[in-house]
Amino acid sequence: MSADVWLPLPPEEIEGLPEGLRYLFWDGGEDGDQEFPGDPARCVMYVVPYMKRWPVKVRPLEQLSNVRVIQTLTAGVDDITARLSAIVPGVRLCNARGVHEASTAELALTLTLAALRGIPDFVRAQQQERWQGAFRPALADKNVLIVGYGSIGAAIEDRLTPFELARVARVARSRRTTARGPVHPIADVLSLLPEADVVILSTPLTDATHGLVDAEFLSRMKDGALLVNVARGPVVDTNALLAELERGRILAALDVTDPEPLPPGHPLWKAPGALITPHVGGPTSAFLPRARRLLVDQLTRFVNHEPLRNVILTTGQDPKEPVGTAPEDPAGTDPEGPDTPGTNGR
């Protein structure tokens, strides 16, 4: 019986796939009703389709009776962990650490600069053919708080470094020290908020981070501060955020929302001080080459019975306490990146 691997990218477009497996293309199709490429019982590794609706991603799970690895092409794995009960025991769930850091960190910086410098206002003025200058905040001399300091959070700091910041504070699930300075435990976040001019969210969505940014969290942010979310929409309480935006007390730049997609007529679309992008942190030209490299490496490890990268959990076992930070993961089970280390699309 053949051992099949289901890939959401055509196998002929991935150089270096190891021999010994049969590679089948399945991305769910345009409408999510694409027929399975083979017998699900023969699939030993399922690579989850990228940028597809949740029902498409989880549709095969109950029929993958012999699957050994489920590999996402996103940093966050919440789509799959929401259906763990449908997966047989002993399956290693791996995320895409290493694929989205560059793109997501770029967007976090882009949103921060665009919101601070008032780019949306200038775009609207251009559309109306109005030359309208303004005095706006700079990123220089600001205090930035990164909530979720895994591989994406670290990549964000890499890109912030040249901007002459006053200070960067880092928050993760647990306390640790990095070459750049201390990482505070999530329990310290409320005490750090009053000093932050910019708060960047890059934490994975877990039970611990769902609704983390609630009314109390937002009330601790200083007047005029900017909230940037490149994590997951449900990390933020939308109603609480709307209340602060409508008061004009803070600004928000959001690549992810709750609900998502944000429906027409939702008040968040027109909330004062809100800049919204449609979950585009991951899908850039940087995605495919990094995704292909990850798949070749993982499959080579699998064929050679070597340890896989980015294992978040093994089904049927007690998972390690999620490490909170980024939509990126770790090398162990730290979705936020490592204590040794290792996510929205993303």
- Confirm if 142 and 95 have CB atoms less than 8 A apart: no
Sheet of strand 43-47: strand arrangement? 22-25, 4-7, 43-47, 69-71, 92-94, 311-314
Cα–Cα distance between 346 and 343 in angstroms, integer? Answer: 6
Cα–Cα distance between 247 and 253 in angstroms, integer? Answer: 16
Cα–Cα distance between 79 and 13 in angstroms, integer? Answer: 26
pLDDT at 318: 65
Mean pLDDT confidence for 54-75? 96
Whether 60 has a pLDDT exceeding 80, the answer reads: yes
CA 43-47-53 angle, 5° bins: 115
pLDDT at 342: 29
305 part of the active site: no
Which residues sit opposite 41 in a β-bridge?
none
Residue ranges and CATH numbers for the domains of the chain are 4-99+285-314 (3.40.50.720), 102-276 (3.40.50.720)
Which tens digit of pLDDT belongs to each residue from 122-170? 999 999 999 998 899 999 999 999 999 999 999 999 999 999 999 999 9
The per-residue b/e assignment along 132-144, b for 16 or more CB within 10 angstroms, e otherwise, is eeeeebebeebbb
Mean pLDDT confidence for 85-108? 96
For residue 60, what are its two tokens? 């095969």
- Confirm if 328 and 281 have CB atoms less than 8 A apart: no
Catalytically annotated residue among 184, 210, 266, 279: 279
pLDDT at 346: 64
The alpha carbons of the chain give a radius of gyration, in whole angstroms, of 21
Mean pLDDT confidence for 254-270? 97
Q: In whole angstroms, what separates CA 222 from the centre of its chain?
A: 26
Amino acid making up residue 65 = S
Which tens digit of pLDDT belongs to each residue from 172-214? 999 999 999 999 999 999 999 999 999 999 999 999 999 999 9
- Confirm if 37 and 60 have CB atoms less than 8 A apart: no
Which residues sit opposite 56 in a β-bridge?
none
Which residues sit opposite 47 in a β-bridge?
71
Which tens digit of pLDDT belongs to each residue from 284-335? 999 999 999 999 999 999 999 999 999 999 999 865 443 333 333 322 233 3
Mean pLDDT confidence for 221-240? 98
- Confirm if 113 and 120 have CB atoms less than 8 A apart: no
Whether 343 has a pLDDT exceeding 70, the answer reads: no
Whether 117 has a pLDDT exceeding 90, the answer reads: yes
For residue 120, what are its two tokens? 């949306």
3-state secondary structure string, the chain? Answer: CCCEEEECCCHHHCCCCCCCCEEEECCCCCCCCCCCCCCHHHEEEEECCCCCCHHHHHCCHHHCCCCCEEECCCCCCHHHHCCHHHCCCCCEEECCCCCCHHHHHHHHHHHHHHHHHCHHHHHHHHHCCCCCCCCCCCCCCCEEEEECCCHHHHHHHHHHHHHCCCEEEEEECCCEEECCEEEEEHHHHHHHHHHCCEEEECCCCCCCCCCCECHHHHHHCCCCCEEEECCCHHHECHHHHHHHHHHCCCEEEECCCCCCCCCCCCHHHHCCCEEECCCCCCCCCCHHHHHHHHHHHHHHHHHCCCCCCCEEEECCCCCCCCCCCCCCCCCCCCCCCCCCCCCCCC
- Confirm if 75 and 100 have CB atoms less than 8 A apart: yes
Mean pLDDT confidence for 41-63? 96
